[in-house]
Structure 1
């Protein structure tokens, strides 16, 4: 049975994985990083969430930028809710600030909470997938299909088979009992919750869980 998600949902999957990956990189954002440097990082192993040509074509660059900023604004809201700080998001610099650095000194507690919870115009723009889909459909399909090919690439080599076995172990799954993508995602989220640095785990443990999910997503999607 083909369980591959359609193109309409692939960009949402990519953004969701981005949020999971970026949420383990708190130290990176405390120090601050540019959008360009962050995209370059996410193009490389072990992430490989963007194509090598993600920054070459103007329209492809826009799509990459939109997906990344969508994930960053989701992450910003998550960190506010977790009292971790406020993620300042700009192309030239993305930085996690303390609350007192992001709220005017004269604000009272109620004003501060309101200011942090309200979406600004840019957040509303990037969190609306309709704005992503308004651009050229052919280019959108090219981007999403390229992402899916990375997620569902062949798994026939001995190295890939070993990776599949290891990934089952990391997520606590049995290779002899196939799971649906919905079940896989549920197991992944539960494992990531305990492995996440914010929940007592480590960045390395969280990345292992994320990688295992990527491997098994493409494995079970090809079934």
Structure 2
């Protein structure tokens, strides 16, 4: 149920912003274009914002899949969405890419249907509680079974492995999955 017009607008905008663009800036840019089939959501309504975020990320991951056939890819993070050429097109087409739990989550529209305002609020509450814990970073390193210094690729690889293990759609524990996501958000800036 992809919207081809939205995919076309995303393609154009991401070509123009080769150094990357934040999700918020992308939403503003789409909202400013009269032909774009996307309206910036009410940023104070977490439920509406989540649904718009999910729809946008669904299309970003669809675009990422399309770009793979032409030797390009997207790095998709809410704070910076960046389009770039892959280093070696021939090897990326023959290698099996590691599973990306975020891509799997956003490409499955059933995840949007399964989410409720209450389940979303529970996730937000857990996220904010995790940020307030005073000694959380030490616990985060222990959760990842890593000791600093850790490179960004090594941290990301461990994060993906933990996400696969704990993802609720794969029989994992939802609370543990949320803890892994929150820990990764805190550890990512600390990676070397």
- Where on the TM-score scale, by shorter chain, does this alignment land: which range? 0.5 to 0.7
Cα distance between partner residues in 1 of 2:54 and 2:60: 10
TM-score of the pair, normalised by structure 1 = 0.46
Determine the structure 1 residue equivalent to 2:46.
Answer: 58
Report how far residue 119 of structure 1 moved. 4.5
Q: Which is higher, the Rg of structure 1 or of structure 2?
A: 1
Q: Please list, as runs of the form range in 1=range in 2, the aligned pairs for 1:1-223 lying within 5 A after superposition.
A: 12=1, 15-83=3-71, 85-100=72-87, 110=91, 113-115=94-96, 117-136=97-116
Go from structure 1 to structure 2 and tell me whether the alpha carbon gap of 1:110 and 1:132 turns closer, same or farther (over 3 Å shift).
same
Q: Deviations over 1:181-221 (max 9, x none)?
A: xxxxxxxxxxxxxxxxxxxxxxxxxxxxxxxxxxxxxxxxx
> Relative to 1, partners in 2 of residues 1:45 and 1:24: Cα closer, same or farther, differing over 3 Å?
closer
Q: CA deviation at 1:113?
A: 3.8
Contact 1:34 1:92 in 2 (8 A): yes
Counterpart of 2:12 in 1: which secondary structure? coil
Q: CA RMSD in A?
A: 2.7
Summarize deviations over 1:19-40 as a string: whole Å, max 9, x none.
Answer: 1211223433412100000001
CA–CA distance in 2 between the matches of 1:17 and 1:135?
A: 26
Aligned position for 1:221: none
Give the distance between the partners of 2:92 and 2:39, measured in 1 at CA. Answer: 42
Query: Larger relative CO (CA 8 A, sep 6+): 1 or 2?
Result: 1
Q: Which sections of structure 1, spanning at least 5 residues, go unmatched?
A: 1-11, 104-108, 138-223
Number of residues paired by the alignment?
Answer: 117
Alpha-carbon separation, structure 1, partners of 2:85 and 2:50: 30
Pair 1:30–1:119, CA change in 2 (3 A): farther
Label 1:52 to 1:30 Cα distance change in 2 as closer, same or farther (>3 A).
closer
